[in-house]
Chain A
Amino acid sequence: MSSVVSFDALVLAPVLAPAAGALAVLVLDVAAPRLRVAHHAVGVLALLAGLAFAVPAALGVESAPARSLCLPAPAGACFYEAGPLAGALQLGALASALVVLLLVWPDRGTEPGTESGIEPARDPLRGGPAVVVALVLAATAGAAAVAAAKDLGSWLVALELATLPAVALVALRGTSRASAGAVSLLTTSLVSFAMVALGAALWLVAAGQPVFSVAAVERAHAAHDTWAVLLLGVLLLAGGLGFKLSLVPFHAWTPQAYAGGTEPVAAFLAATSKVAALAALVAVLRPLSAAQAAVLVVVGVVAVASMTLGNVLALVQDDPVRLLAWSTVAQAGWVVLPLATVVPAGLAASGGYLLAYVIATLVAFAVVVLVVHAAGPTGDPAAGRTLAAYKGMLRTRPLLGAALGLALVSLAGLPPGVVGLVAKVLALRPVVAQGLWVLALFAVANAVLGVAVYLRWFAVLFQEADAAVGTAIPSARRAPRGPLAALALSATALVLVSVAPQLLLGLVA
């Protein structure tokens, strides 16, 4: 036999493409460091290739999940297995990373060669474009890999690959706030890694094999001792992932890291990182099918606590990025809410809710980036970072305002953001179907709180434009191309899935 495990490059392409892209960007940077746009172009191409290869698995074209890295025939276990849900999450990770790359696309004003090859003062991220692009691509490769990882080893590696570049991305800004955010994120990641590693070790002890499979769980279920160990392991794994999903009580890093990094990096943390974390959680929970009362209660309590705390604190934020950070905490609660049922429908509901949230939140971040950009050249980076900067946006910049408005009502779960509403239905359905009425009541209360959070910002868009800050809102001609393209892409996706939610939900069901 030529190799120990089978290797199918085509199946692995959603992971390999961004990884190869990251390498290519670094090589390109050695060869031609001044070609700023080229780095981004390579990154975008790599992600597009990854997207194209992820589509078959996501659509479930073949009845069996795409498998690779399989052991030889008798054992037959595969380390990589992408079913429809995993494929959909891969799509989400790749597409959101694409939007983030567009958000950091170099502006015409900062073309190279202006000042002896050094980055112009306005470039908010250190290290040049190659570093940023390579980090985003590496983290995306990790996110795509973790969605399909079947064994503990590659799952752990992929998870950390998805996390550590994010720490670097936050730190790249170089300000003291960014360092604080990065340190907070790093500390959290390390603790979370410790928990996850311990959980993985317990899983191995209990199940006897380092794979996430039904057979492994059944083996652990056979004896009372091993079952207890497995449950403890799952709790530790879920806890560690709770850090990455910004679930209460592991959420504290979120506002610091969001506000410390640049806005595109915050978008990355809010979108791609969350996809990676949920994908990892789904991989753990999928083989557990019944009788996990302890885990269920914990998930339900964590979901409610995240929603409530996130919504309440989002209500009092004045910085849109911080507001979105706390909204992430709240939405993470909604994402794990259906997981409290541990039925297959719950996993799909969770994935569907996450994807709807990712699209809407990316639109919001794209608008924030554009507004901050327009306010930035005057030298005050905080100018675009208050809700007041959005006053009257629906009048002065109707398209931008409409995109942000649609994103906000989607997050709130009200029409015309139909996708948000449908996602709420999707998330609540398994909860009610399983008869978890108390949990549903808490969710209802939080749906109302969420409406208050997002309409507070939405109402600002309607107010009379203030002459003083009216200039903070960018005009189409002066706006940078990259973020505009990112906004166009994500807003089109949002409108499409609002008209036909099936486009999104069909992926995960």
Chain B
Amino acid sequence: MVILIALLVPAAVAVWLLGAGRHLAHQVVNRVALVAAAVTLSAVVASVVARPSIDRPWVPALDLRWQFAVDGISAPLLVMTAVLGLAVVAHSSRRRPEGGTSAAFHACLLLVVAGALGTFYARDAILFFVAFEVVLVPMWVLITRFGDAHRAEERADAGARFVLYTALGSTLMLVGILGLVSAAGTADLQVLARGAGSGIPRHTQLLIALALVSGLAVKVPLFPAHTWLPSAHTIAPTAGSVLLAAVLLKMGTYGLVRLPVATVPDAFGRLAPLVAVVGAVGILWGGLACLVERDLKRLIAYSSVAHMGFVALGLASGTRTGLQAALFANVAHGVVSALLFFVVGGLKERWGSADLAVARAALREVTPRLGFALVVGLAASLGLPGLAGFWGEFLSLYAVWSPAGDRPAGLLRATAVAGALGTVLAAAYALRVARIVWMGERVEPAIADSRGVEWVVVGGLVVAALVLGVLPQVLLSVTSDAVTALVGGGS
């Protein structure tokens, strides 16, 4: 019941806004969306506490069921999605979106949240795919209609790139899912995870895993399928960037855990070295790109590629620690990237562009709050102990240094070294940004500091990044049981 509320309230309000909200004032629309997001959040929290499940037929002809449930793997992501959904709506109250009606903007935000929640709740492989696709069109609208107002052509290009890349990824994933479902005879993810690929020929398992991993790699994104991400992030409005980084990318990593890792573990094990190498290349590539990137938003986007590389390393290790690390890094990146995109998006709105080459007032001098938030975000992003980013990266590297017995230890250790090198790069680019944007004596041109709702949202994320860094056990204990169920006990 609460699951249905969490899914249907945002969807229904979005449809209502699309239908009837065209002439409503921005503030009214924002209030309505805010209430919907708040109801969604409370329903999600209730569902995470009560852990209900729903199972009823939807399309018997396809054996497709409305099958939703919550477990330790999805619970943190559900809460994060709902919280960030509320945050982006609250954050949007300050200014009217450019490029379309406020109702359409908010409807798209709510639809993305609803689709992401559906993805995390789904316990039916094909339903998972359907929910996965729901976010595509609203996100595409957010990028092409509400993106950077100055660059119409780039908007269309970034939107098309986003939608085509992700459609390619999800259709590949669909092929994998269909192969899995027809080989195993069920679409129930819990049953599939319990079976863990037994009874499916090795060759077929490998093909299924290949389709699933390559399809989800586009969404995560893993090198070299990441090229849609920087342009989409650069162009998207602040709210869109936040949802993209903190929610949509998580759907990719969540899918990796839920589908190939859980259902065809042997075949994923055979692909693991490839995943690890690709992850390590992504870490280095993203870090190097960040060292020279001039656009601040694009820089943060490249840092996402690097962070997702750590998640890939954790998954590839095949150990309990590695999986825990991947899930932790996933949530930590959600919090940190949301924080950074809120700050950077706010800066871009104030500056009018995000070009680092333009001399601007030092944030330390003119906007201490935004400056503080930026520094915390960057510090968390480079993996400073005591902040959210540390545990995911540290544990991932540890796990991939001592991988499961069936993995090629030499190769994985090499990727661990590469990953460690990546953290050095992360420190370098974080300091580069801090030096250019935060330090200095300039006070011209002055910009307004963060106030009101924006500061509440940003401040809340700063606190979340601190809490996850100081008390990682809060999150690790939630995922622990589910992870044990997936890889068994041991290391």
| A residues whose Cβ falls under 8 Å from a Cβ of B | 348, 352, 395, 398, 402, 409, 414-416, 418, 421-422, 424-426, 428-429, 432-433, 435, 437, 440-441, 443-445, 447-448, 451-452, 455, 459, 462, 500-502, 505-506, 508-509
Contact = CB atoms under 8 A, between A and B. Distances in A.
B171 A502 contact: no
Nearest to A456: B160
Contacts of A433: 178-179, 182
Nearest to A441: B175
B141 to A, nearest CB: 7
A124 B167 CA distance: 41
Interface of B: 18-19, 22, 58-62, 64, 100-101, 115, 126, 129-130, 133-134, 136-137, 140-141, 144-145, 156, 159-160, 163-164, 167-168, 171-172, 174-175, 178-179, 181-182, 204, 207
A443 B167 CA distance: 12
A414 B167 CA distance: 9
Given A425-B126, A455-B140, A437 B207 contact: yes
Nearest to A412: B167
B137 A415 contact: yes
Contacts of A440: 175
12 contacts: A352-B61, A402-B19, A414-B133, A415-B133, A418-B130, A422-B59, A424-B174, A425-B174, A448-B171, A451-B163, A451-B164, A462-B100
B409 to A, nearest CB: 32
Given A415-B136, A448-B168, A428 B62 contact: no
5 cross-chain pairs, A with B, having the tightest CB-CB distances, nearest first: A505-B61, A433-B182, A509-B61, A432-B178, A415-B134
A401 to B, nearest CB: 11
A444 B136 CA distance: 16
A433 B175 CA distance: 10
Contacts of B145: 462
B470 to A, nearest CB: 40
Contacts of B61: 348, 352, 426, 501-502, 505-506, 508-509
Given A448-B164, A462-B141, A505 B130 contact: no
Contact of A447 (B130, B137, B171): B171
Given A429-B182, A462-B145, A502 B59 contact: yes
Contacts of A402: 18-19
Given A422-B59, A425-B126, 13 more contacts: A415-B136, A424-B174, A437-B179, A440-B175, A447-B167, A448-B167, A448-B171, A459-B156, A462-B100, A462-B144, A500-B59, A502-B58, A506-B60
Nearest to B104: A394
Given A425-B62, A426-B62, A444 B129 contact: no
A428 B181 CA distance: 12
B119 to A, nearest CB: 12
Contacts of B171: 424, 443-444, 447-448
A509 B57 CA distance: 15
Contacts of B182: 429, 432-433
Contacts of B137: 409, 414-416
A440 B208 CA distance: 12
Contacts of A501: 58-59, 61-62
Contact of B175 (A426, A432, A462, A506): A432
Contacts of A441: 175
A187 B445 CA distance: 73
Contact of B168 (A352, A409, A444, A508): A444
Nearest to A437: B207
Contacts of A426: 61-62
A350 to B, nearest CB: 13
Given A414-B136, A425-B174, A455 B62 contact: no
Contact of A421 (B22, B130, B159, B163): B130
A459 B144 contact: yes
Nearest to A426: B62
Contacts of B130: 415, 418, 421-422
Contacts of B134: 415-416
B60 A502 contact: yes
A444 B172 contact: yes
